[in-house]
Amino acid sequence: MRARETIGRGLPPECNRRFLGVTIRVLIGTMLTFGLATRTGSTSTLVHFAPPFTDASSVPDSIRVLPETRGYDGQFYYRLAESPLSTAQQAAGVQFDHPALRTTRIGYPMLAAAISSTPVSTVNAMLLVNLISYGAIGVAGLSIADSAGRRPQFGLALLFVPAFVYGTTMSVTDTLAGALVLVGISLLLRTSCVPAAIAFSAAALTRETALLIPRSSSPVCCIGGYGIV
């Protein structure tokens, strides 16, 4: 009851200040990573472009191509954001490693593409999506903790899940998929079944393993008197 009474009025007095201090440092550190990379013109290094999948001669000069051993998944999502419908072996200077797998994870690059339709570059848009998603994880965690009658620390602990911290600065799908799943769970706990289903569906389009969460939890919603599993 106390947790519910505090919602909308800030954190309860008994909240562990040290824990909140560490949480704030993690958030600030993540934002500084993005800010420093932007200031030094090296945000592309957080996407990890590298051969043999990225052709340095075919990408814009603003993109820094790293040594072969430092390549990672972000380069494939960059290609999807730049050329989502291309069936060519190489598009936007990048070729897929596993096309069937990469093209199923369309949610993250599509959001990045939507943001990059503004003056924001595709690389910066990818990083911005993950920063917003990381913040959403914290908000969803607070909501889940409140619904369960727990202290806010339990919800904020989700910010320390390695996949979310790692994914935020690596331009991969983990952070967005995690945020959408947690938002879905938060909505289910508040019996908002249709919005929760939309969040889970979006999570599945971002990372297919997100389908395991709603299925394993087997949530039951009642809509119009009918139970839907």
Which of 203, 195, 204 is closest to 143 using CA atoms? 195
The total number of residues written for the chain in this structure: 229
What are the boundaries of each domain within the chain? 2-18+126-228
pLDDT at 15: 47
pTM: 0.79
Q: How confident is the model at residue 4 (pLDDT cuts 50, 70, 90)?
A: very low
Phi, psi of 95 (to 5 degrees): -115, 145
Cβ–Cβ < 8 Å for 15, 153: yes
- The answer for residues whose C-beta is within 8 angstroms of residue 1's C-beta and 6 or more apart is 149
pLDDT score of 23: 58
Q: Match 């839907």 to its residue by tokens.
A: 228
pLDDT value of position 80: 96
Residue 37, classed as helix, strand or coil, is: helix
Q: What single-letter amino acid sits at 25?
A: R
Q: Where are the beta strands (DSSP E) in 105-161?
A: none
Mean pLDDT of 94-101: 93
User: DSSP string spanning 19-32?
Assistant: HHHHHHHHHHHHHH
Q: Is residue 171 a contact partner of residue 46, using CB atoms and an 8 Å limit?
A: yes
Enclosing H/E stretch for 223: strand 221-223
Work out the percent of the chain whose per-residue pLDDT is above 90: 43
